[in-house]
Structure 1
Amino acid sequence: MERVAVLVMEMQRGVVGDLTKFPELVDACARHDVVPNAARLLHAARHAKIPVIHCTAAFRPDRAGSHTDNCPFIVSLLKDPAHMLEGSPAIEVLPELLGADDLESRRHHGFSPFTGTSLDMTLRSLGVSTVVALGVSLNLGIPGLALEAVNLGYRVTVVKDAVAGIPEDYARAVLKHTISLLAGRATVTELVGAWT
């Protein structure tokens, strides 16, 4: 029997919340109701006893465990020494998306929630064969999640109205030309209907 888990990618205060460094991404989320759509899906998942796992990112103040010079985007982010530090409010999951029994898988490097974390082991321990992905961004995080999940043998569904990227025409192109090759695509309404 298929066992599903929902993976919530980087829906953190320092990414798409009140402490963001990415106002354009926050604006894209707002225009497409990404946060309320995600909240609706997560509510339905919890009601259906589907595990919710928040895939979060953070840096240690000493940067231990993080590659800091192998990627232009990371180099740019770390010009701010306080960016997304462990223990800071910026790494917290948006409160409207966090449930009391949700799990968290944190990474300190890269863009995939699987590499260097226990996420795969957690999913396997739960008997999960299919992951439903939402969050940000369609630029890096969601494609990385989908590709790694497929490589590890999971089926993947990306929630079309609970993801965002910038610029928005590029995000739409990623959904159409990259995600469609890796994963199924569904709306919040379609998934909520299937789970209730």
Structure 2
Amino acid sequence: MSTFSDRDRTALMVIDVQNNVVADAYQREETIGNINELVKRARESGAPVVWVQHSDEEMEVGSADWEIVPELSPAAEETVIQKIYGDSFEGTNLEEVLSSAGVGRLVVSGAQSDACIRSTVHGAFTRGYDVTLVSDAHTTSDMTEWGAPAPEVAIAHINLYWQFQGAPGRTAAVVSTQDVDFRS
């Protein structure tokens, strides 16, 4: 029910699951395993899979830190978006990619929960997308030394508040990996 009358497809977004980003992420293996399951199911259902890679001074394009983790692998025909901001839409062609694929609903996974995931789900929602956050397929690192809550608290908080988002013509949802349906 997104605000796009001509976009009835669902896409899976895999955000910033890169070597540097998830090196010490909370429940790294479980989260990547869930993302792998989502990628498999999206491909089987014909849903587009869109990969996002962040770059900055610490993760230069082409470096080992910048690479997507070896446990995950974009298919040759899948789009990989390069970004430098938290919101995957800012300064990228993500909107054009989704529009041309007829996508109005996003299923979001990846890292960091309290940074790029949060920014992207809000960015997508304000742009008119229905946004489903996969509760057990996003993660973050321990940033308590900078005043952030512990990773499990940050993840739980984002899962809690996202399920109560609302706006005209859009829906927000939080579901587990097993409950994701790429057909709706």
TM-score, normalised by the number of residues in structure 1: 0.76
> CA 1:180 to 1:34, structure 2 compared with 1: closer, same or farther past 3 Å?
farther
Counterpart in the other structure of 1:29: 28
Amino acid aligned to 1:185: V
- Whichever structure has more helix as a proportion of its residues is 1
Deviation at 1:180?
A: 3.6
Structure 1 pair 49–178 and aligned structure 2 pair: CA distance change class (3 A): closer
Find the residue that maps to 1:112 and give its secondary structure: coil
| Match 1:176 to one of 156, 160, 164 | 160
Tell me the residue number matched to 2:63.
88
Cα drift, residue 178 of structure 1: 4.2
For the 8 Å contact 2:14–2:49, the answer to whether it is kept is: yes
Deviations 1:21-59 (A, max 9, x none): xx2x2x4324xx100011011001011111111111013
TM-score, normalising length: structure 2: 0.81
Aligned to 2:78: 102
Q: If each structure's strand is expressed as a fraction of its own residues, which one has the higher value? A: 2
What residue in structure 2 maps to residue 47 of structure 1? 44
Residue-by-residue CA offset, 1:120-151 (whole Å, 9 max, x unaligned):
11100111010100011221111111111011
Q: Secondary structure at the match of 2:65?
A: helix
Is 1:187–2:184 an aligned residue pair?
Answer: no
Matches of 1:180 and 1:140 in 2, distance apart? 19
Q: Are residues 1:14 and 2:20 paired?
A: yes
Contact 1:143 1:179 in 2 (8 A): no
SS at match of 1:56: strand
- The alignment of Structure 1 onto Structure 2 pairs a total of residues equal to 162
AA of the residue aligned to 1:8: V
Q: Determine what percentage of the aligned residue pairs are the same residue.
A: 25
Residues 29-178 of structure 1: pairs in structure 2 closer than 5 A: 29-30=28-29, 33-59=30-56, 78=57, 83-100=58-75, 101-108=77-84, 110-165=85-140, 166=142, 167=150, 168-178=152-162
Long gaps (5+) in structure 1: 60-77
Q: Specify the SS of the correspondent of 2:20.
A: helix
